[in-house]
Amino acid sequence: MTMINRVDRERHDAVEGHGAAAALFHGLADPTRLMILAHLRTGEHKVKDLTEHLGLAQSTVSAHLSCLRDCGLVTSRAQGRASMYSLANPRLLLALLGDANHYIGISDEHELDTHDFTEVHGPGRAQHVVRP
């Protein structure tokens, strides 16, 4: 392998790695998707169940689930004509959100509780956050 080919390959691998991270963080960057993840924390749900819980249109929930599936946060399986959605890796998601909690340095008053989902209030803060 020539030096140029190796450098190109290393650059390509680095870009792909950053792309995967960007997709993951994009999936977590929306309060509605965080609310969906919160509901999936309790177990599998159909799109219909999520629309009822969240009060959102089916098309909206489906679009958010598609994003979450594409970035690897949820999985789906067929059950008859419906799809059942669940968290792909609950422990990894909780660890990631715990690290985010540490990184953003939320004060004790607004600290993300990693045992459930809750609303966080304050300027520049997400409306909803994931708690295990």
Residue (of 23, 19, 25) closest to 97 by Cα position: 25
Range of the domain at 107: 3-129
- Structural domain count, the chain: 1
Provide the CATH number for the domain around residue 121. 1.10.10.10
Cα–Cα distance for residue pair 24/116, rounded to 1 Å: 20
pLDDT, one tens digit per residue, over 54-95 is: 999 999 999 999 999 998 999 999 999 999 999 999 998 888
Residue (of 57, 78, 70) closest to 25 by Cα position: 70
Cα–Cα distance for residue pair 30/106, rounded to 1 Å: 18
pTM of the full predicted structure? 0.66
